[in-house]
Amino acid sequence: MNGAAALVIAAALFSYALVLHVVTWRLRAPPKYLYWFLKYWLLLPLAVVCAILAVEGLRGELSASQLLAWLGGFLTYLALCASFILIYPAISMSSLSLEILHHLRRHGPQREDALSLADQSGMAMLEVRRDNLMHSGMFRADGDRLVLTAKGRLVASMIDGVRWALAIPRGSGG
Amino acid sequence: MERHWIAILALGALPFVLVVVHGLLARLLRLVGVDLGPQPTAIVIVLLLNVALAIALVAGGGTSFWDAGYVLVTANAMWFVYFQVFVNLSLTSLHARLVLQALWRGSVDMQSLAEEYDSRMLLATRLSRLQKLRQIAIAAGVITLDWPYLLWLSYPIYWWRNLIGMEGESLQLIDPQDRTTRP
């Protein structure tokens, strides 16, 4: 395999993806960011790569080695994009653990009773996530309770299945 | 050439293969009385993966520096996908916790969850977790940083957050001495 060519393709595509992300977010962060990533990080580069390969193929200039380099490069690009998208929630939403560590770094040692969290913080965290799940059609309200929709049940069952595969006991974590 | 196609397919399937390896390793370790927990098991797996790749690349012979680099970069990115999607999401995500609770109990009662996520309880739980992970030390009622590698790892995240002009969620950690409230 031409590892160098595959790495150059992956690096070029990933650089494009990051620059586009920074420029777009600085102008206005998209409210449905997952759709944005799907459209501009997956579908658009995929269309461009397919077009390049089609043109090269029609001109008879596409060798098996080149095809392999493009596929290999695109696979690495997808893995890098997936890694970034999985980190993105940590970028856009604060982690309390990290906030505590940054607070200690900024202000030095603290007495245990000197640290406190605004009263509404815990509920605010829950409400943001509940709203996300309601808007994405996973939950429906039933009085004061939230009940899974068919889509939510499917997603929950998949997560439950993954936990079983990883031998994580029911009820642990979270 | 056929070997290269197989390598590409194997790299693409790696996150799923790692889930199977993780499940087998965790169950085998439990049989001998060892329970590492999901995240340390995933860390052991990335070490094993890189050792296995290094052996395979050296034993394969004639592998160029760039080919080896390609395989290592892609395999480690695929490991990260497995770690975040399968291990972290199913274990620590609050979104996942809400849907799992609804699946296991039939519904989610936001009121009872709100009690569990009471701000004082939330802070105490996090402090205890950070202490166990040796991120902080608590002695004579004073909290200090211990070996805060999570803090160091978070610098690029905070830097990127500034770069794209985001402020993050407001958690409002308060220091009563100077009355500052930080997002």
Question: Residue A72: inside a domain, yes or no?
Answer: yes
Domain count along chain A? 2
Q: Give the closest of B12, B99, B130 to A133, CB-based.
A: B99
Structure confidence by residue, pLDDT tens digits, A71-120: 999 999 999 999 999 888 888 877 788 888 988 998 899 888 888 777 66
Question: Residue A130: inside a domain, yes or no?
Answer: yes
In B, minimum Cα distance to A115 occurs at B175
Q: Give the closest of B30, B70, B142 to A6, CB-based.
A: B70
**Among A43, A72, A92, residue at a domain's last position:** A92
Question: Residue A101: inside a domain, yes or no?
Answer: no
In A, minimum Cα distance to B134 occurs at A101
- Structure-token pair, residue B144: 């200090």
Same domain, A88 and A128: no
Indicate yes or no: CB of A145 within 8 angstroms of CB of B108.
Answer: yes
Compute the distance between CA of residue B126 and CA of residue B147 in angstroms, rounded to an integer: 16
Same domain, A25 and A86: yes
For residue B179, what pLDDT is reported? Answer: 46
Question: Residue A111: inside a domain, yes or no?
Answer: no
- Split at pLDDT 50, 70, 90, the class of B175 is low
Structure confidence by residue, pLDDT tens digits, B11-70: 999 999 999 999 999 999 999 998 888 888 999 999 999 999 999 888 877 788 888 999
Same domain, A25 and A87: yes
Same domain, A87 and A8: yes
For this complex, say whether ipTM is above 0.90.
no
For residue A143, what pLDDT is reported? Answer: 81
In A, minimum Cα distance to B146 occurs at A101
Q: Give the closest of B73, B90, B183 to A7, CB-based.
A: B73
Same domain, A130 and A66: no
Same domain, A74 and A14: yes
Question: Residue A99: inside a domain, yes or no?
Answer: no
Q: Which residues pair with B182 in a beta bridge?
A: B173
**Residues 6 or more apart whose Cβ sits within 8 Å of residue A72:** A1, A3, A6, A9, A10, B4, B8, B70, B74
Structure confidence by residue, pLDDT tens digits, B146-173: 999 889 988 999 899 999 988 765 555 6
Structure confidence by residue, pLDDT tens digits, B112-149: 777 777 778 888 888 988 998 889 999 998 999 999 98
Question: Residue A143: inside a domain, yes or no?
Answer: yes
Same domain, A27 and A88: yes
Compute the distance between CA of residue A135 and CA of residue A129 in angstroms, rounded to an integer: 10
Compute the distance between CA of residue B175 and CA of residue B35 in angstroms, rounded to an integer: 38
Compute the distance between CA of residue B39 and CA of residue B61 in angstroms, rounded to an integer: 34
Q: Which residues pair with A140 in a beta bridge?
A: A147
Do strands B173-175 and A139-142 pair parallel, antiparallel, or not at all (unpaired)? unpaired
Percent with pLDDT over 90 in chain A: 49
* φ/ψ bin of B56: left (φ > 0), alpha (ψ from -120 to 50), beta (otherwise): alpha
Q: How many CB atoms lie within 10 A of CB B53?
A: 15
Same domain, A35 and A85: yes
For residue A91, what pLDDT is reported? Answer: 86
**Among A38, A73, A92, residue at a domain's last position:** A92
What residues of chain A lie within 8 A of the CB of B96, using their CB?
A: 159, 174
Question: Residue A105: inside a domain, yes or no?
Answer: no
Tell whether A26 lies on the interface with B, counting CB pairs under 8 A: yes
Segment A50-72 shows an average pLDDT of 91
From A62's Cα to the closest Cα of chain B, the distance in A is 15
Structure confidence by residue, pLDDT tens digits, A131-161: 888 888 889 888 878 899 999 999 999 999 9
Same domain, A10 and A86: yes
Same domain, A60 and A135: no
Contact between A130 and B121 (Cβ < 8 Å): no
- Structure-token pair, residue B178: 């100077």
Compute the distance between CA of residue A46 and CA of residue A75 in angstroms, rounded to an integer: 11
User: Which range (A63-72, B75-84, B89-98) has the least confidence?
Assistant: B89-98
For residue B63, what pLDDT is reported? Answer: 80
Question: Residue A102: inside a domain, yes or no?
Answer: no
Query: B118 or A163: which carries more pLDDT confidence?
Result: A163
Assign A145 to helix, strand or coil: strand
Give me the half-sphere count of Cα atoms (radius 13 Å) on the Cβ side of residue B121: 9
Contact between B44 and B36 (Cβ < 8 Å): yes
Same domain, A31 and A82: yes
State the residue range of the domain holding A155. Answer: 121-174
Same domain, A16 and A61: yes
